[in-house]
Structure 1
Amino acid sequence: MTHHTDQDRAWSMIEEIGICMLVTHDGSGDQLRARPMSAHAARDEDAIYFLTDIRNHKDDEVEINDNVCLTFAENDDYRYVSVTGTANMLDDRRKIDELWSTAAKAFWESKDDPNIRVLRVRPAMAEFWDNPGKIVTTVKMAAAAVTGSKPNLGENRKLIL
């Protein structure tokens, strides 16, 4: 596979999975924090966007250390993507309007809420695991256990985004 195809595949998996764990540094010691977030991939902008609330301290953590990790998981098909990059907060009302969805109403009454911000992540590197699905993977693992061989569980790639 070419480098370009691997990048497309990683971006497609990010878009398809959609929900990830956003990992930040807590700013006090060596602790990491992870929380689920709804990702809005914008491959043409080389960014992944999130709506967030400034009352939840992600902005403080990103200001202290802008290095973040995003982990996407689709457990039913054993497909995973890990993205490392840098993050920053934007008070961009036009982008908030663009990203606003019915799901966002669960967190804010209106897109005009002054506490909403956009968290933008600029991906630097990614690693993905793209497997043939649960049934095929289970059969391959069982066969490997019986034969003593290592199973081929799909493709794993590390790449620069």
Structure 2
Amino acid sequence: MADMDNQPKENLMAADAVKKIKEMAEGVNACLLQTGLKEISVNIIPMSIQEVDQDGVLWFISSSESEHNHNIEKDQHVIVTIQNDSKFQYLSLNGYAQIHSDKSLIEKYWTDLANAWFEGKDDPRVRVISVRPNSGHYWDTKNGKIVSGIKMLFSAITGADVDDGGVDGQIIL
């Protein structure tokens, strides 16, 4: 059978970690942003990733009046969770968030979808959040979703020991 406790580990640092973050965030429309981590009631909200830049920093559009913005003002530590079921890729990142009101950043990351929450990019509530990861953990497939799924199904049916094609490890920036 597939043994997820014995799958290969591959810890990634610096440039390799940034490359993995960019790869896993590419094509993902939304992730979960967790703020207020020191509070009893953690705030978890879906957010659209606008970009993962060359340093691995994740960028989001947000409202100055949102609960997560208020939480970030009190405590910048956040967790971002990315899930790409279509590729069997999962990523959890610890990092520090910063809120920006700079018009050039708003212009850079503005999308038409943001109009659903704001009255245009000049709305005074528009903010940009950057999350600079410092560590995390990823789970990925080496062979892609279809091959990994076939291997797991084969193992489940036959009880045979197979490599499920998975790899996981720490992300350290």
Q: Which runs of 5+ in 1 are unaligned?
A: none
Q: Which runs of 5+ in 2 are unaligned?
A: 1-9
The reply on whether 1:22 has 2:33 as its aligned counterpart is yes
More helix by share: 1
Alignment of structure 1 residues 52-131 onto 2, 5 Å = 52-131=62-141
Question: C-alpha distance in 1, partners of 2:74/2:62?
Answer: 17
Output the TM-score relative to the length of structure 2.
0.80
Rate the CA distance shift 1:76–1:46 in 2: closer, same or farther, 3 A.
Answer: closer
Is the 8 Å Cα contact of residues 37 and 78 (structure 2) preserved in structure 1? no
Question: C-alpha distance in 2, partners of 1:26/1:81?
Answer: 18
Output the TM-score relative to the length of structure 1.
0.86
Question: C-alpha distance in 2, partners of 1:45/1:77?
Answer: 23
Root-mean-square deviation over aligned CA pairs: 2.2
Opposite residue 149 of structure 1, the aligned amino acid is: D
**Percentage of identical aligned residues:** 27
What is the aligned partner in structure 2 of residue 43 from structure 1? 53
Residue 17 of structure 1: SS of its match in structure 2? coil
Rate the CA distance shift 1:48–1:67 in 2: closer, same or farther, 3 A.
Answer: same
Report which structure shows greater RCO (CA 8 Å, sep ≥6).
2
1:42: Cα distance to partner? 3.9
Residue 134 of structure 1: SS of its match in structure 2? helix
